[in-house]
Amino acid sequence: MRAPSPYIGVGRFVREARRLDEAKRRSVNCSARDFLAAWGRGKAGPVPCAGCSACCYYAGVPVDEKRDRRRLPHLLTERDHDGELVLQRRADGACAHLGDRGCMIYEHRPSACRSFDCRAFSAMGLVEHCDPNHRTPDWEFAAPERAPP
């Protein structure tokens, strides 16, 4: 009788690793150039966060007291060292409003959060580190269409 192979179950591990890797990849169905043009016009559409919370680890997310005045009662804020109003942060560096299922004040989030779009960094070829342990996700853009000859 042969001893069981130490490689039994490796295929399952490899398949799971591929599935997780594919889940991390995010795609946009237009070219980076077309995306940036739409983004510049405010027509890029909502960011499909899909469980990502990297941007919730930025330090000093500003709260515009004029633009966000209707939202202020819902926000946990503080003054930074320059006296600017910012969202409070937890001890781990995350926004105080980040919960287990994402933003707990999504409908009342400040204008800085509403306008943030991590896809723009990838479209410009940039890697954005929100803090030393968090970075915006990589986005893949469709290849630009070529004009017929």
Domain ranges within the chain, ordered by starting residue: 29-42+50-141
Say which residue the tokens 């204008």 belong to: 111
Q: In sequence order, what are the beta bridge partners of 26?
A: 139
Query: Which of the four pLDDT bands, split at 50, 70 and 90, describes residue 12?
Result: low
CA distances from 120 to 25, 31, 57, 84, 138 (A): 15, 12, 18, 26, 10
48: tokens are 């499909």
* pLDDT tens, residue by residue, 104-139: 999 999 999 999 999 999 999 998 899 888 998 899
Entry pTM = 0.72
> In sequence order, which ranges of the chain are alpha helices (DSSP H)?
10-24, 32-40, 111-115, 119-123
